[in-house]
Amino acid sequence: MSLKLYMDVHVPQAITDRLRRRGVDVLTAIDDESATLTDEELLERVRTLGRVIFTQDIRFKALAENWQRQGREFAGLIFGHQMGGTIGQYVRDLEIIAQGSELDEWLNAIEHLPF
């Protein structure tokens, strides 16, 4: 079984579209009608859905890091700085992550992309 991903509102649609064409299970905050949730609410929502979130929002990453320090549980967060990689790099890395890992491996984890 592959990892299910969740895209924050800051992620370009092209990343989501390409991942879906490659067979990756991706849900966006917009598709989920959760685009107006706070970052904290969204981190909780993603955990209940059993998905790891990908964001390009540095404040969202800081929130997850704070939760790590506090021992608050979340499903995992993947961060890719908007200037840190190309759409193609993010698609390749996210596809590898989705195909090569399981949700339990991501509990309270934060990963930075591109690799």
Q: What is the pLDDT of residues 99-111, one digit of tens each?
A: 999 999 999 999 9
Q: Average pLDDT in the 86-91 region?
A: 94
Q: What is the pLDDT of residue 114?
A: 82
CB-based contact 102:76 (threshold 8 Å): no
pLDDT value at 1 more than 70: no
CB-based contact 10:55 (threshold 8 Å): yes
φ/ψ (deg, to 5) at 27: -120, 135
Lowest mean pLDDT among 15-24, 36-45, 78-87: 78-87
Output 12-16 pairs: Cβ under 8 A, ≥24 positions apart.
Answer: 12/87, 14/87, 15/54, 15/87, 15/90, 15/91, 15/94
For the chain, list the domains and their CATH numbers. Answer: 5-113 (3.40.50)
Greater pLDDT, 83 or 38: 38
Greater pLDDT, 82 or 33: 33
The closest alpha carbon to 55, from 74, 79, 26, belongs to 79
Q: What is the pLDDT of residue 81?
A: 87
